[in-house]
Amino acid sequence: MKDEREISDLPLGPYRVLDLTEGGFNWCGKVLADLGADVIKVEPPQGSPTRSRGPFYLDDPNPERSLFWYAYCLNKRGITLDLETRDGHDIFTDLVRKSDFVIESYPPGYLDELGLGYDRLSCANPGLIMTSISPNGQTGPHAQHKAPDIVAWSMGGMQHLAGDTDRPPVRIGFPQAELNAGAQAAAGSMVAFWHRQRTGEGQHVDVSMQVAVIWTLMSATAFPPLHNVNLERAGAYRTGGAVRTKGVFPCKDGYVSVVFNGSGFISPMVRWMEEEGVTPEFMALGNWDSWTPGELSARGDEGLAELRALEQHIGEFLITKTKVELFQRALEHRILLAPCNTVQDIWESPQLKARGFWTQMHHPDLDASLTYTGPFIKFSETPIRTRHLAPRLGQHNYEVFVTELGLAEDRMTQLQAQGVI
């Protein structure tokens, strides 16, 4: 079996991952599965709580219809096993002997209590890479904290930095903290994997969701020690520089985001406005190529007044154009501007279509085809491909337990009756 997989045409084809993660942490196993690993979701017999994450196909909150599950468990297989039973414990340990990675997101210490922590599992398989994802890390004063998205987003400093100034700060509308931790877990697992390929030694990877969120802060953390200030939320304005510049403008049919600088934005906008005869005199006469917001503060009120006038006039022009018109011009004239895409805009993107991004998958149980986002990266030799749908509950029990692990068929039937599988 191993030899056959050794010649796999996918980078991680020869390797097996036991995936015990929940929610957005599933992104870790999704990356490994896309890279070719045999990723097996190990669910409790009653099903993974992630199956109750919305949105749902046709809004039906059925555990087999979670679009969240479909998206982030694509390319994985699935088994059920009650790890809290003696038999479940033993079978899991057997599986670990035949696996390369275990990834999990239980509260720190839970698997240790079951005798399935890293110390025990690494005795069964010294080359094992075990990746544990948790709100704040495996040890420390906040190790036992619970952290759904908004809590981790807040403790990691991102919540503080977004939103209008006259209302409480906001998060990104779809939960991101777990996904970021899942991505860091994939990176950490692969660093540990390379260490193992060179030395044969496995190890434990400790991923903190809080730290993963901090790594999205774009160096905001250094403002207190270096500038003696905290950055604050600023709505549609960008925070970070000495002077706040507007980063989101309304246009005819939505919004666009811009990087408000001289050569990449103001100059090409002035040229466009001149073509249409709507440039105020101060903009037509100015030399904007060398303009930067960084130098505005030295000019005091006059500099600030100029910035506000630029924002006003350019804003009045932008609102006469659609997202498509603005982005087309940005592509042709190198303007630092992009549409704030809606999901419909993303679906209609000519770029994504041209690159064959979208993937159709037929769901026999729904008697329907669903469209999935495509590969997260393109490999020239080993392209990521969609091998199978997210698993139904216990879909691969027979295949994994009987065919691959060698469990006798009647033993499996017995374990099913006992609720272990």
* C-beta of 145 vs 392, nearer to other proteins: 145
* C-beta of 168 vs 406, nearer to other proteins: 168
d(CA 263, CA 102): 50
Q: Which amino acid is at 82?
A: D
End-to-end CA distance of the chain: 24
* C-beta of 237 vs 398, nearer to other proteins: 237
Distance set, CA 241 to CA 9, 157, 297, 301, 312 (Å): 48, 18, 10, 16, 20
d(CA 30, CA 331): 33
Q: How many CB atoms lie under 10 A from the CB of residue 186?
A: 21
Tell me how far, at minimum, the Cβ of 345 lies from other proteins, in Å.
Answer: 8
Tell me how far, at minimum, the Cβ of 360 lies from other proteins, in Å.
Answer: 10
d(CA 249, CA 237): 10
Only one residue has tokens 């919540």, namely 159
DSSP annotation of 362 reads E
Tell me how far, at minimum, the Cβ of 166 lies from other proteins, in Å.
Answer: 10
* C-beta of 23 vs 45, nearer to other proteins: 23
Query: Are the CB atoms for 362 and 372 separated by under 8 Å?
Result: no
Tell me how far, at minimum, the Cβ of 391 lies from other proteins, in Å.
Answer: 17
Tell me how far, at minimum, the Cβ of 243 lies from other proteins, in Å.
Answer: 11
d(CA 54, CA 343): 17
Cα dihedral: 371, 375, 379, 385 (round 10):
-50
Phi, psi of 238 (to 5 degrees): -90, 135
Tell me how far, at minimum, the Cβ of 350 lies from other proteins, in Å.
Answer: 6
* C-beta of 79 vs 307, nearer to other proteins: 307
* C-beta of 231 vs 407, nearer to other proteins: 231
* C-beta of 198 vs 406, nearer to other proteins: 198
Sorted by sequence, the CB contacts under 8 Å of residue 245 that are 6+ apart come out as 237, 238, 260, 293, 307, 311
Tell me how far, at minimum, the Cβ of 149 lies from other proteins, in Å.
Answer: 7
Query: Are the CB atoms for 185 and 103 separated by under 8 Å?
Result: yes
